[in-house]
Amino acid sequence: MQIRAVGMQIRAVGPKSHSGWRKSSGRLRISIGLVLLLWLALSSLSGAESCMAPESMRSSLQGHPTAETFADLGIWFGEQKKYACAADAFAASLSIQPKAANVAFMFGASLYLSGNAKDAITALQMSEELEPRNPKLHPVLAAAFDELHQTKNAEAEWQATLTIDPESSDALDALSRDLTLDGDYSETIALLENPIIRGQRTAVQSLNLGLAYARSAKREDSVKILRDGLNTSPDSVALANELADILGQIGRPEEASSVLSLALIVHPGDVDTEVHLLRTLVAVRSEKAKQVGIHLLLSSPRNWEVQYLNGVLEIQEGRLEEARSHLEESAAINPNVAELHRALGSLLLQLKDMSGAKEQYEKAIALGDKSAETQADLSKVLQNLGEGH
């Protein structure tokens, strides 16, 4: 790694230089763990952005810069959002003063912010050994674990964060998300039904709590939580879509469409929400479905579900050839949806295209459709083709 000063290059410990540095600096003692850490970090940052020191610091980087000088340089790079350069500078500082806990933390945080979560974890864990009570450490370490999908380790760090600050919104958001992803729904509910935070849940917390209730087969509780969350955070499109999903599942599609229509007033043009609304309207055969479907065909013609739902709508209206065109276009865009091939097979059966229907039913089954209805329809097609038993 290179940090440039006036007309010179200052090298910190790196893959090609740390042995020479140790020989010439016998008075400094570094643990084998730190040497390996610096090796890993600096190797991963080789070829990073050019790290030009500011004019005001160049004179102090000449000769024999101190650990404090490199630390100040790392802070300056961090303020410029040049995190790879900041990590280089903090590594140089640690090569001189390896037990500087705050510098070790900033080194790990810079590695994380530069996109190097794996080595950031090693650095942050070493920082924790030097300063176990650093309140800033646990959230960064948790975020690094989350980035590597090590959710159990992340959960432990978010819990440690909450031990220090029980009302940390960031920690509650992230921990409830991780618990929900892990299927620990009872833990999510216990965490977010805590009376201390019940009245001040964020949109993320309301969403995670609603999901936890829904996946615990407590859908009415889920609706209440999601609706309360949406009243508190009316601009949350995620809450609106999840609430509409649950309302649809419990047989209240009119309420679902109202929720989505209101969400689109706040977020006009949100394609996912528009598609969700069309799906809901088609399911209840609403007169509004045709208008929404035409709008989406014009604005999002390459969305497979837009084409599919318009095809289903046209089947409902008896316009089978138009439906065929839209369903075939949908399959061309995304050929990996079982329900799409099931619908196209059913349509082709109605159009007496038995070979085409057979192909579509077989694709639906290959993609996981195990319904008795699909099997029965395929048997009917095979009999028409003379292939039945």
* Confidence category of residue 49, pLDDT binned at 50, 70, 90: low
The tally of domains found in the chain comes to 1
Does the pLDDT at position 3 exceed 70? no
Tell me what pLDDT residue 40 has. Answer: 42
- Specify the pLDDT at position 389: 55
Mean pLDDT value across residues 27-37: 39
Q: What is the mean pLDDT of residues 96-121?
A: 96
Inform me whether the pLDDT recorded for 27 exceeds 70.
no
Poorest-pLDDT segment among 263-267, 291-295, 308-312, 384-388: 384-388
pLDDT at 183: 95
Residue 155 clears pLDDT 60, i.e. is over it: yes
Give yes or no for a contact between 210 and 226, defined as CB atoms under 8 angstroms apart.
yes
- pLDDT > 60? residue 8: no
Paired with 9 in beta bridges are 4
23 has pLDDT over 60: no
**For residue 387, what pLDDT is reported?**
82
The reported pLDDT for the residue numbered 388 is 62
Mean pLDDT of 224-244: 96
* CATH code of 21's domain: 1.25.40.10
DSSP letters for 122-137: HHHHHHHHH-TT-TTH
* Longest distance between any two alpha carbons in the chain, whole Å: 91
Q: Is the pLDDT assigned to residue 26 strictly greater than 60?
A: no
Q: Which of 18-27, 127-136, 278-287 has the lowest mean pLDDT?
A: 18-27
Per-residue pLDDT reduced to its tens digit, 162-203? 999 999 999 999 999 999 999 999 999 999 999 888 889 999
Read off the pLDDT band of 222 (50, 70, 90): very high
pLDDT the model gives residue 267: 95
pLDDT of residue 199: 82
Question: To the nearest whole number, what is the mean pLDDT of the chain?
Answer: 88
Whether residue 115 lies inside any domain: the answer is: yes
Q: For residue 48, is pLDDT > 90?
A: no
Evaluate whether residue 65 is within a structural domain. Answer: yes
Q: pLDDT band for 323, please (50, 70, 90 cuts).
A: very high
Kindly tell me if the per-residue pLDDT of 242 is higher than 60.
Answer: yes
The pLDDT of residue 12:
33
Does the structure show a pLDDT above 50 at 28?
no
Give dist(CA 131, CA 250) in Å, integer. 52
DSSP letter at 386 equals T
d(CA 175, CA 193) in angstroms, rounded, equals 14
pLDDT at residue 344, rounded to an integer: 97
| Residue 56 located in a structural domain | yes
The reply to whether 71 falls in a domain is yes
- pLDDT, position 22: 33
This model's pTM is above 0.75: yes
Residue that has been written with the tokens 């900033």 in this structure: 106
Looking up tokens 């646990």, which residue turns up? 138
Structural domain contains residue 16: yes
Average pLDDT of 310-316? 96
Position 342 pLDDT exceeds 50: yes
Separation of alpha carbons 297 and 303, rounded Å: 8
In a domain, 313, yes or no: no
Q: What is the pLDDT of residues 245-303, one digit of tens each?
A: 999 999 999 999 999 999 999 999 999 999 999 999 999 999 999 999 999 999 999 99
- Residue 196 is predicted with a pLDDT of 86
pLDDT mean over 100-108: 95
What ranges make up the beta strands (E) of the chain?
3-5, 8-10
Tell me the residue range of the domain where 49 lies: 1-134
Q: Is residue 149 in some structural domain?
A: no
* CA atoms within 13 A of residue 355's CA, in its CB half-sphere: 0
Residue 63 has what pLDDT?
83
Q: Does residue 173 fall inside a structural domain?
A: no
Give the whole-angstrom CA distance, residue 313 versus residue 290.
Answer: 7
